[in-house]
């Protein structure tokens, strides 16, 4: 896939101003292609949700965009920078072009209104020329699309299970047929079986409707199973990006390696889970050099002094184990001094 629908270039997000500002997202570059599921993984505090709020301009105070571009590519039109849209333009852009399913979304429904009114209100707000009958028909269609019987339109949120409420929120996000759907840990509060059901349904909807997905979670095992590509965040930066197959088979960054070894394999022999020692860095007092070096088993002197550049790696040892050198795939990047980058990847 080479057709970009969303490009994030040099995005920086701060909380606060001046010398007291906390740099929550630093120099992030990401490209989302049409019809793609791009996973974004990392521990709590790595900047994932801040990135999602920043690129949709939904940052609560004191969050501010400190720099960068978010280019949206409409079908057949010139790219537009979301960060420079006027408020009327932004209102038209949200939901119609890009929708977001928030963290804890299943608790986002208004408890005193029926599902029907909440779905039709979204359509009415962004398409005021629609008729009540057409809005209700669209609401029925969206419930059926996410696997819920249309007779649930008359239900209140408390009469639905957590998984059903989550499906309603996904249906609400898809009501205006957006090209991009951003999902910020939408299945965190659900059990594993329901998580898989919702994610499989999301993939089926993506294949049927053709929208692109940015899926944000701390659970890398989910992303490996359902994403086309995965970007790993740590300390507000992207530290590795690769296809899900490449990342699972051969993680290059020690942090990615630690995340993958933090959950058990469903098949194969039993193995000891190692996890990652220590805690994520305090964004108010970031360590010098590579932010991961205080926790990294492969840290060198250089790691505590210089920040590694995200780029295309040269020849690397597969899986951090001894063995023959193998060329890294050209479509992956990493920011780690263990893997020098090509000059053309800088």
- Report the distance separating Cα 47 and Cα 121, nearest Å: 32
Q: Using a pLDDT cut of 70, give the percent of the chain over it.
A: 91
* Closest-CA residue to 109 (of 153, 72, 66): 153
- Angle at which helices 162-174 and 115-126 pack, to 10 degrees? 20
* Closest-CA residue to 310 (of 34, 46, 10): 10
What pLDDT shows up at residue 237? 96
What pLDDT shows up at residue 327? 47
What pLDDT shows up at residue 266? 62
- pLDDT of 271 > 80? The answer is no
Better pLDDT: 313 or 191: 313
What pLDDT shows up at residue 321? 44
What pLDDT shows up at residue 1? 43
pLDDT band at 342 (very low <50, low <70, confident <90, very high): low
- pLDDT of 317 > 50? The answer is no
- pLDDT of 168 > 80? The answer is yes
What is the model's pTM? 0.88
Q: Are 68 and 8 in contact (CB under 8 A)?
A: yes
- Report the distance separating Cα 72 and Cα 4, nearest Å: 9
* Closest-CA residue to 11 (of 79, 82, 96): 82
- Report the distance separating Cα 43 and Cα 219, nearest Å: 9
What pLDDT shows up at residue 316? 46
Return all residues near 2 (Cβ < 8 A) that are at least 6 apart. Answer: 33
pLDDT digits (tens, 9 = 90+) for 34-59: 999 999 999 988 999 999 999 999 99
Average pLDDT over residues 75-84: 90
What pLDDT shows up at residue 325? 47
Taking phi first (over 0 means left), then psi (-120 to 50 degrees means alpha), and beta for anything else, what does residue 275 get? left
pLDDT digits (tens, 9 = 90+) for 96-121: 899 998 877 667 889 999 999 999 99
What pLDDT shows up at residue 295? 95
pLDDT digits (tens, 9 = 90+) for 326-341: 544 557 899 999 987 7
Average pLDDT over residues 173-186: 90
**What tokens does 206 get?**
């993506």
What pLDDT shows up at residue 322? 37
What pLDDT shows up at residue 343? 57
pLDDT, mean over the chain: 87
- pLDDT of 15 > 60? The answer is yes
Average pLDDT over residues 187-203: 79
pLDDT digits (tens, 9 = 90+) for 198-251: 888 888 888 888 999 999 988 888 888 889 999 999 999 999 999 999 999 999
With respect to CATH, is domain 4-233 assigned 3.30.70.1230? no
Average pLDDT over residues 280-289: 91
Given strand 229-234, what is the order of strands in its sheet? 98-101, 180-184, 212-217, 37-41, 229-234, 237-243, 333-334
- Report the distance separating Cα 33 and Cα 31, nearest Å: 6
pLDDT digits (tens, 9 = 90+) for 297-312: 999 999 999 999 999 9
Of 92-101, 183-192, 193-202, 315-324, highest mean pLDDT: 92-101
SS (H, E, C) the chain: CCCEEEEEEEEEEEECCHHHCEEEEEEEEEEEECCCEEEEECCCCCCHHHHHHHHCCCCCCCEEEEEEEEEECCCCCCCEEHHHCCHHHHHHHECCCEEEECCCHHHCCCCCCCHHHHHHHHHHHHCCCCCHHHHHHHHHHHHHHCCCCHHHHHCCHHHCCHHHHHHHHHHHHHCCCCCEEEEECCCCCCCHHHHHHHHHHHHHHHHHHCCEEEEEECCHHHHHHHCCEEEEEECCEEEEEEEHHHHHHCCCCHHHHHHHCCCCCCCCCCCCCCCCCCCCCCCCCCCCCCCCHHHCCCCCHHHHCCCCCCECECCEEHHHCCCCEECCCCCCEECCCCCCECHHHC
What pLDDT shows up at residue 319? 43
Return all residues near 105 (Cβ < 8 A) that are at least 6 apart. Answer: 165, 166, 169, 186
Question: Where does the chain hold its CATH 3.40.50.300 domain(s)?
Answer: 4-233
């Amino acid at each position: 896939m080479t057709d970009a629908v969303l490009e994030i270039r040099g995005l920086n997000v701060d909380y606060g101003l001046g010398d007291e500002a906390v740099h929550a997202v630093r120099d992030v570059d990401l490209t989302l292609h049409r019809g793609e599921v791009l996973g974004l993984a990392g521990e709590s505090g790595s900047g994932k949700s801040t990135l999602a709020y920043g690129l949709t301009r939904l940052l609560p105070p004191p969050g501010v965009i400190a720099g960068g571009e978010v280019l949206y590519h409409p079908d057949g039109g010139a790219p537009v920078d979301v960060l420079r849209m006027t408020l009327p333009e932004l209102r038209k852009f949200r939901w119609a072009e890009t929708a977001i399913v928030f963290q804890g979304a299943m608790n986002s429904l208004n408890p005193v209104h029926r599902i029907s009114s909440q779905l039709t209100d979204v359509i009415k707000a962004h398409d005021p020329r629609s008729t009540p009958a057409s809005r209700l028909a669209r609401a029925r269609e969206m419930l059926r699309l996410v696997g819920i019987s249309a007779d649930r339109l008359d239900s209140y949120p408390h009469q639905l299970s957590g998984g059903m409420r989550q499906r309603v929120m996904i249906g609400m996000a898809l009501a205006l047929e957006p090209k991009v759907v951003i999902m910020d840990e939408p299945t965190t509060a659900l059990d594993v079986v329901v998580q898989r059901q919702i994610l499989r349904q999301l993939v089926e909807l993506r294949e049927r409707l053709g929208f692109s997905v940015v899926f944000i979670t701390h659970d890398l095992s989910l992303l490996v199973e359902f994403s086309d590509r995965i970007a790993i965040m740590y300390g507000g930066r992207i530290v590795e990006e690769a296809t899900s197959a490449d990342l699972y088979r051969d993680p290059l960054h020690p942090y990615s390696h630690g995340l993958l070894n933090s959950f058990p394999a469903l098949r194969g022999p039993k193995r000891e889970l190692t996890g990652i020692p220590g805690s994520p860095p305090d964004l108010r007092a970031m360590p010098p050099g590579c932010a991961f070096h205080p926790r990294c088993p492969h840290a060198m002197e250089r790691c505590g002094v210089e920040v590694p550049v995200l780029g295309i790696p040269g020849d690397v040892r597969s899986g951090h184990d001894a063995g023959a050198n193998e060329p890294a795939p050209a479509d992956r990047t990493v920011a780690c001094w263990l893997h020098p980058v090509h000059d053309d990847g800088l």
